[in-house]
Amino acid sequence: MTANFLTIDDLTAAELEAVLDRAERYKREGPPPALGGGTLAMIFEKPSTRTRVSFETGATRLGGHAVFLGPDDIHLGHGEPIRDTARAVSRYVDAIMARLFDHADLEELGRYATVPVVNGLTDDAHPCQTLADLLTIRERVGGLDADVAWVGDANNVCRSLVLGAALLDLELTVATPPAFTVEEAVLDRAADLGRAPETTTDPAAAVEGADVVYTDVWVSMGEEADRERKLAAFESAGFRLTEALLEDQYVMHCLPAHRGEEITDAVIESDRAVVWAQAENRLHAQNALLAHLLEG
Ligand code: CP
Ligand code: NVA
């Protein structure tokens, strides 16, 4: 069976560490031509800046190239079933990266494709982001003996971080309003993998003594109908990263950021924010992942 990367725990802990080591090496020395003149298909149902540009430039750096397939470019979503898209596209390309709404659709793509399928974000998970996040934490803190606080919505980025932290035994606390906490199934899976995070509804308690504080938007792509309810819940409970909430922690954000909502302009522009290095690390981490998957 072809190896896919649909969730972070599609890698074992040893494989995840090896991908991070490889990413560090590629960042220092440049990547090898692992795509060997081949092609990466990039299927997008949602918008993207970082994922699109990092995968496309990554494919070039790996000695291949990428084909961008947006929502109106292909028959997917306009009547052609996912399984047919998967089988046809697999006949042309060496790997597929897809950003879809429904995670079950990505699983179907992965089941029918005959080349590796990589999750470029679904409503449930964003494992490529977690690769870059773990790489960034390792670089900044000098290893993974770090205390990380997630402050915000327990969304796709958070779920993948929870499982990545469980795999690599990273100390993680997740602070959310009560209505937006991590699902039991994710906590159970994290415990199975080795370590479930602490959970709290108190952002100040979560950030106290942390090395890294991480946030993301309160309203993810596809949740726009719930926007007012979510903004009210996070705002009233003090979940915005402000200078008053923080001490000297590194601040992470997967981006795009909504300044004035989950983070202030002053915090994201401060020296403690490592968001641009984090964004750059998407490129190195994904190149390492693709090389790992293509080598089989
Ligand atoms: N962090 C991230 O995935 O950004 P994009 O939505 O711009 O790809
Ligand atoms: N949680 C955000 C992440 C964007 C990269 C979203 O899904 O919109």
pLDDT band at 77 (very low <50, low <70, confident <90, very high): confident
Decide: 156 in ligand 2 pocket, CB within 6 A.
yes
Q: Tell me if 8-126+282-295 shares its fold with 129-278.
A: yes
Instruction: Kindly name the residue from 22, 159, 253, 282 that is annotated as catalytic.
Output: 282
| Ligand 2 atom nearest 46 alpha carbon | 8
Ligand 1 centroid to 169 CA: how many Å?
25
Q: State the closest ligand 2 atom to the C-alpha of 216, by its place in the atom list counted from 1.
A: 1
Q: What does the pLDDT average to over 261-279?
A: 98
| pLDDT tens, position by position, 180-223 | 999 999 999 999 999 999 999 999 999 999 999 999 999 999 99
Mean per-residue pLDDT over the chain, rounded: 97
Query: d(Cα 139, Cα 133) in Å, to the nearest integer?
Result: 10
Residue at 95: amino acid letter: A
Distance (Å, whole) CA 92 – CA 98: 16
CB under 6 Å to ligand 1: residues? 48-51, 121, 129, 254-256
Q: Is the pLDDT of residue 1 over 70?
A: no
Query: Is position 216 annotated as part of the catalytic site?
Result: yes
**Residue ranges of domains in the chain:** 8-126+282-295, 129-278
Fold of 129-278: Rossmann fold (3.40.50)
pLDDT score of 2: 75
Per DSSP, helices labelled H in the chain are 13-29, 50-61, 82-90, 103-112, 127-141, 156-168, 184-193, 203-207, 227-236, 265-268, 275-295
Task: Name the closest ligand to CA 54.
Answer: 1
* Span of 68-82, 122-136, 154-168 with lowest mean pLDDT: 68-82
Give the CATH number of domain 8-126+282-295; options: 3.40.50.2300, 1.20.1560.10, 3.30.565.10, 3.40.50.1370. Answer: 3.40.50.1370
Question: What mean pLDDT do residues 249-273 have?
Answer: 98
Would you tell me the crossing angle of helices 275-295 and 50-61 to the nearest 10 degrees?
Answer: 50
Catalytic residue among 22, 50, 126, 292: 126
